[in-house]
């Protein structure tokens, strides 16, 4: 093996070991040997994304594509970052369309279709996303990850009948994949199998806790400060509902609340809500692992907590208030 290839291989090996900084060193050493290597820029992009440096990741991926305009892997990697956390869905769709023009195997087609599906969902174009699902190959899928992702896509468009066997199979093929068990819980819940759903959700929770936090993850103390800042930034009318609320931070919801029906991927929980005028203490539990998973980057953490607070306050306080008001006949 030549020195250039050795640096690239070592870089990807370090990525798998969870050492993005070491992988970056290897990628840059490869570039010292070949400054026009699209493979080295693709590795740099992947490393930057792992570190939460998403704009830099896009720059590296685009450089790789500029050096090789048939580099399908870099296109798909860029599309993934455009979708989450950047939310630049049109850019992602453009990348996926380029990749689809180049795709030669079923695996390559499915990879590009799945990413385009996520971008269409992100834009709220559900009908287009559903139509795209008809382009999936019939299977069986050689890639176990495609079994889950295609099943998830069917679930997201409301086609539980086609989703169920794929997600059930995925949970067997990937017993350590928390996503498979989470969606298995959702499917079972749709089918009215409460006990089976709870079992799957609890397994998903266990596996989520085994996944290392992202390299940019906040310390518990800093995350708590960020959560309090998000609470303080609420509109006065909403913040009034949590006046003097106690705030607690945990990794994920506890087993006891999941058994009672709380989503294991919930971002937060408002507890201790009493009747109007009650002296009951209101408590806010914020779940760091779940927030950081959704946020995708350091600068989105506070925003995701604030949006979750707005949703929970509306569901916990405002909607019940509106339902309790008597309907007034029109004059």
How does pLDDT run across 78-99, given as a tens digit for each residue?
A: 999 999 989 999 999 999 999 9
Q: Which of 299, 298, 269, 261 is nearest to 286 (CA)?
A: 269
Tell me the percentage of the chain whose pLDDT exceeds 70: 93
57 confidence band (pLDDT: 50, 70, 90): very high
Residue with tokens 């820029």: 41
Class of domain 220-324: alpha beta
Query: What are residue 286's DSSP bridge partners?
Result: 249, 268
Tokens found for residue 209: 């806790």
Residue 330 has pLDDT above 50, yes or no: no
Tokens found for residue 109: 């087609």
The Cα 137–Cα 309 span in angstroms is 41
The Cα 105–Cα 101 span in angstroms is 11
Question: Are the beta carbons of 182 and 201 closer than 8 angstroms?
Answer: yes
Is the CATH code 1.25.40.10 the one for domain 138-212? yes
> What's the pLDDT tens digit per position in 29-50?
999 999 999 999 999 999 999 9
Question: Are the beta carbons of 270 and 262 closer than 8 angstroms?
Answer: no
Q: Domain extents for the chain?
A: 138-212, 220-324
Q: Which of 26, 25, 32 is nearest to 8 (CA)?
A: 26
pTM of the complete model? 0.86
């Amino acid at each position: 093996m030549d020195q250039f290839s050795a640096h690239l291989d070592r870089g990807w090996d370090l990525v798998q070991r969870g050492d993005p900084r070491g992988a970056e060193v290897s990628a840059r050493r490869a570039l010292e040997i070949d400054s026009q290597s699209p493979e080295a820029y693709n590795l740099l992009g992947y490393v930057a994304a792992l570190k939460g440096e998403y704009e830099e990741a896009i720059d590296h991926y685009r450089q790789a594509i500029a050096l090789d305009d048939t580099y399908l892997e870099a296109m798909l990697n860029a599309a993934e970052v455009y979708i989450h956390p950047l939310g630049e869905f049109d850019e992602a769709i453009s990348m996926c369309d380029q990749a689809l023009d180049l795709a030669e195997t079923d695996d390559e087609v499915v990879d590009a279709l799945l990413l385009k599906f996520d971008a269409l969902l992100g834009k709220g174009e559900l009908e287009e996303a559903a139509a795209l699902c008809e382009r999936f190959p019939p299977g069986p899928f050689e890639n176990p990850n495609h079994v889950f992702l295609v099943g998830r896509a069917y679930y997201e468009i409301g086609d539980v009948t086609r989703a169920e066997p794929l997600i059930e199979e995925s949970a067997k093929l990937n017993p350590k994949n928390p996503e498979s068990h989470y969606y298995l819980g959702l499917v079972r819940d749709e089918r009215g199998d409460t006990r089976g759903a709870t079992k799957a959700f609890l397994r998903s929770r266990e596996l989520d806790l085994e996944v290392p936090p992202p390299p940019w993850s906040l310390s518990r103390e800093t995350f708590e400060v960020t959560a309090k800042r998000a609470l303080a930034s609420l509109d006065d009318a909403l913040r009034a509902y949590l006046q003097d609320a106690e705030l607690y931070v945990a990794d994920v919801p506890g087993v006891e609340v999941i058994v009672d029906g709380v989503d294991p991927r919930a971002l937060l929980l408002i507890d201790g809500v009493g009747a109007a005028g009650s002296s009951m203490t209101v408590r806010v539990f914020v779940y760091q692992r779940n927030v950081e998973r959704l946020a995708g980057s350091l600068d989105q953490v506070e925003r995701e907590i604030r949006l979750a607070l707005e949703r929970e306050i509306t569901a916990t306080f405002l909607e019940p208030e509106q339902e309790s008001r008597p309907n007034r006949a029109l004059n």
